[in-house]
Copies of this chain bind each other. A is one copy, B any other.
Amino acid sequence: MNEMPYKTYLSENELPRAWYNVRADMSEKPAPMLNPKTLKPVTTEELEKVFCRECVKQELDDTTRYIEIPGKVRDFYRMYRPSPLIRAYFLERALGTPAKIFYKFEGNNTSGSHKLNSAIAQAYYAKEEGLEGVTTETGAGQWGTALSMASAFFGLKCSVFMVKCSYEQKPFRREVMRTYGADVTPSPSMETEVGRRINAEHPGTTGSLGCAISEAVEAAVSRPGTKYLLGSVLNQVCLHQSIIGLETSAALKKLGVEPDVIIGCAGGGSNLAGLIAPFMGERLRGGNACRFVAVEPSSCPSLTRGRYAYDYCDTGKVCPLQKMYTLGSGFMPSASHAGGLRYHGMSSTLSALLDQGYIEAMSVSQTEIFEAATLFARTEGTLPAPESAHAIKAAISEALRCKREGRSENIVFGLTGTGYFDMFAYGRYNDGKMEDYIPTDEEIAKGLAGLPNM
């Protein structure tokens, strides 16, 4: 049918040996994390109470360009990596576009997403530190599944606080985590102080990621031999996820393709940061003119309607503050919001890059993204996660723009995962019962009013 292969796989020998730290190439570094009590930059010692030592080191390191991937992590990566870079021939044909569309597919593993890339690294460091267990939160369930898998692999006990509405809509996600030996608690729960407080203040709440984070952190510091791991937002996570971009870059080079635009969905930012990392590095060093597009849900629009300011990373305000695009740590997306991408803030590195003009941001509604997801499933075969469908929607828009303009651009997007555990939401869409919810200006203002005064 075509000369260029449909799927481009690197060999296992070509698996990157080091992660790439984009902060090393930023002349204006992201603002430092602050201690929520002292409002001074957090110290290594403070962070090590919650996070693993090696992760803290990575979190605070904004000068080392490449950080070696440990051998045991690379061995695990070989089970599902390098992941394929796919030429979307059938989608191109359906759209009648002269553009070439490529997607980096991270869904071919049981966690169903890119989250496993960081989960296995963090679980490895926890094991090396001699810990017995880890705690975390999960929204849509992908990160929780990934960490359950990684914990099972290294024999760590894993406790997951799962945002309540996801817990209820996705009983089978929960069951996958249990199969990997994790225990799963709907959040806000009555098992932590912060959970009991949030339940009292917001009776009947279906939870939020910021609230589940608070619970998981509290559980970690109150249990011996246990630390907390986070699946997005943090610099360490963006670092681990750079493997997505490094592989994408190597595969595109093999094909002789220069990307014109790279598109990723953005919730906490781990996928987008990882996908664009090496391309952004080149750009920061003056090497390319590629566009970078972040796509977020219009129901949780931190990049497009939030403020670039210091804010708490969690609803309970026990975590450090970060300077980031945020809707306020009390912001909770409507219960009608399906899928992930429901975090009130955004990676501080991505936020800085957006603020510095290197990234464009846009938001799309959920009926639009399910429409794009269905087209994609029927043409390209893979049923995408709703999160990934944000990037699909934007890629389709770019491809149609190319069609109007008669331009044969190279569009690259991240297909972060599969939607096999999102069929409740697909069902609502198939039944014509899916609703869009866009926060009013008053609701946005209310969230922003909760930002700390500083």
* A binding-site residues for B, Cβ under 8 Å: 1, 5-7, 9, 11-12, 71, 74-76, 78-80, 90, 108-110, 112, 149, 152-153, 171-172, 175-176, 178-181, 374, 377-383, 418, 420-421, 423-424, 426-427, 430
Contacts and interface: CB of A to CB of B under 8 A. Distances in A.
A381 B80 contact: yes
Contacts of A75: 1
Nearest to A379: B153
Given A6-B79, A9-B9, A78-B1, A149 B181 contact: no
Contact of A377 (B108, B180, B374, B383): B180
Secondary structure at chain A's binding surface: helix, strand, loop or mixed?
helix
A389 to B, nearest CB: 12
Contacts of A379: 153
A179 B180 CA distance: 29
Contacts of A176: 383, 420, 423, 426
B427 A378 contact: no
A181 B378 contact: yes
A5 B1 contact: no
Given A1-B71, A79-B6, A79-B90, A426 B381 contact: no
28 contacts: A1-B75, A1-B78, A5-B11, A5-B12, A6-B78, A7-B12, A7-B78, A76-B381, A79-B380, A109-B381, A109-B382, A110-B377, A110-B420, A112-B420, A153-B378, A153-B379, A172-B421, A172-B427, A175-B423, A175-B424, A175-B427, A176-B423, A176-B426, A178-B426, A178-B427, A179-B374, A179-B426, A179-B430
Contacts of A382: 109-110
Contacts of A381: 76, 79-80, 109-110, 149, 153
A287 to B, nearest CB: 31
B79 A430 contact: no
Contacts of A175: 423-424, 426-427, 430
B109 A172 contact: no
Contacts of A149: 377, 381
A424 B430 CA distance: 23
Contact of A421 (B6, B71, B78, B420): B420
Nearest to A428: B175
Given A110-B383, A423-B172, A430 B152 contact: no
Contacts of A180: 377-378
Contacts of A80: 381
A119 to B, nearest CB: 11
A79 B379 CA distance: 10
A76 B1 CA distance: 10
